[in-house]
Structure 1
């Protein structure tokens, strides 16, 4: 039976695709080796640099973010290299598993999944590595499974304080174009991202932004690579082309997305996400529930992960909300499976969409008989009223 109204896709990515981007993607595919494509490719390759805030190359792959993880590792490391990673959640754990499959010696600093990576612990770990055997430090910027943000600039400082030469790699798959990110200024060597989150595109593109240090490491790295090889990409990219068939229609969409982000203003985009995160957390606390991220100042503007009361299933609640209110919420992953649900508030998203989303959650909690207090939506609205969006005058 048909359901009236729009479906609320409120998972923390893929995010809903704006109409302008859908229209751009729907253009006719062109010859990716013809003269017209060079303009598309050059525009995409230069435009994405402004989102990463880098003057260095950004490689664009037709792949998911997982491919971007693998590309970062195989282009800069050799079999048996030690790699330091921090357990911030499910996606940090998956990146570590990829490293292990590639025969790297991946080492975890254990975390409790309730905050970002700790710069002090990273500095202390590196300081013990007197022989500089650790070749890379890998950190997830915005941990999509928990709603926690790692302080990337502070981690760069920690690596420098330890006097360590390790490459610094960052996954900002769900952070880019939603949270402030500065590849060059923060001294990141390889930044990994994907198309389906803050960039507002469908899944299908991944990115590696690469520093000069990373490019130098690439010439000495001996992990096997073919599809992911930066060297094969960099030559054709100079003239706007790719060594194999690119995702042409997604590049159309990427160019539109970059224009949209700059039209709004990146700082305004970041402020909007921060504001919506604050309002969502106010709703959760008004309901009497706990936000999974427990480290003040590291809460994400991309999503809010919510802990269920003891004895109640997050998955049953999500199923109830979907059945009765046509809203999709993110599930808990691995260690927090069935204990957490995640509210996505990222991408092309405004105040009214947030209030409607939170209303759907609150009605779902009631329908699923999850113990909670009323008034979460009101608490969120009070935050939104006190902190008007850009272009709206304060009282």
Structure 2
């Protein structure tokens, strides 16, 4: 339905498994296109139709990753399936955006993607100016054990502007109290660091969470 012949994915992030597993999905069109390859590098067969289990991995199976993946898939099934998980991701993303937009009304915080239709339901990138991104990330980690992501691809790391970005993830095994708690810590950090921000962010996020 998506028109994708080959997809490469990884185990971390939304699939809730430690990094280290790679997934390659292919359809028969892709298999046929590589049927006369002379190199094992482009030959799907040893990995997709192996003679022995270990050949899926080119050697010893990553047992602990597979056990973690099994549990992650169980969690998705127990919640009600992918559609239910995606709906939760979407609601938590909207709650986070509501808080960010409220904060931005009275300070430098700004969502990197202005149009909500173009934003990710998995992670939100923000700009907060100066060195505020780095200062805030350090404060929330040291004072409250909350880890915020660095800005990726905004500017080069040796550019002073690099310190003005951060990211917030809202995917995987995340629920409302985790997100609301993290938002509360971010607001506490801005208070402690004298970073100006608008009022009502947590209430705005709570209203989204309360939606049916």
CA contact (8 A) 1:312 1:370 kept: no
Cα distance between partner residues in 2 of 1:221 and 1:376:
56
Pairwise CA distance, 1:296: 3.2
Which residue, 66, 70, 77 being the options, matches 1:251? 66
Structure 1 residue 218 corresponds to structure 2 residue 34: yes
What residue in structure 2 maps to residue 133 of structure 1? Answer: none
Cα distance between partner residues in 1 of 2:103 and 2:83:
31
Cα distance between partner residues in 2 of 1:225 and 1:376:
54
Cα distance between partner residues in 2 of 1:347 and 1:277:
12
CA contact (8 A) 1:325 1:360 kept: yes
Structure 1 residue 296 corresponds to structure 2 residue 116: yes
Pairwise CA distance, 1:230: 2.3
Which residue, 208, 212, 234 being the options, matches 2:48? 234
Cα distance between partner residues in 1 of 2:177 and 2:23:
32
What residue in structure 1 maps to residue 137 of structure 2? Answer: 318
Q: SS of the counterpart of 2:86?
A: helix
Cα distance between partner residues in 1 of 2:207 and 2:21:
38
Assess, with a 3 A threshold, how the Cα gap between structure 1 residues 296 and 244 changes in structure 2: closer, same or farther: same
Which residue, 123, 127, 147 being the options, matches 1:328? 147
Q: Report Cα offsets for 1:17-55 as digits up to 9, x if no partner.
A: xxxxxxxxxxxxxxxxxxxxxxxxxxxxxxxxxxxxxxx
Pairwise CA distance, 1:356: 0.2
- State the 4+ residue runs in structure 1 displaced beyond 6 angstroms: none
CA contact (8 A) 1:329 1:342 kept: yes
Cα distance between partner residues in 1 of 2:9 and 2:74:
18
Which residue, 79, 86, 89 being the options, matches 1:264? 79
Q: Report Cα offsets for 1:53-86 as digits up to 9, x if no partner.
A: xxxxxxxxxxxxxxxxxxxxxxxxxxxxxxxxxx
List gaps (5 residues or longer) in structure 2.
156-161
Cα distance between partner residues in 2 of 1:225 and 1:285:
51
Pairwise CA distance, 1:347: 0.9
Compare the two structures and name the one with the higher helix fraction: 2
- Aligned pairs (5 A) from 1:148-187: 185-187=1-3
What residue in structure 1 maps to residue 159 of structure 2? Answer: none
Q: SS of the counterpart of 1:327?
A: coil
Cα distance between partner residues in 1 of 2:131 and 2:204:
24
Pairwise CA distance, 1:330: 0.2
What residue in structure 2 maps to residue 178 of structure 1? Answer: none
What residue in structure 2 maps to residue 343 of structure 1? Answer: 168
What residue in structure 2 maps to residue 192 of structure 1? Answer: 8
Structure 1 residue 371 corresponds to structure 2 residue 187: no
Pairwise CA distance, 1:229: 4.8
RMSD over aligned CA atoms reads 2.1
Assess, with a 3 A threshold, how the Cα gap between structure 1 residues 365 and 261 changes in structure 2: closer, same or farther: same
Cα distance between partner residues in 1 of 2:11 and 2:79:
18
Q: SS of the counterpart of 1:287?
A: helix
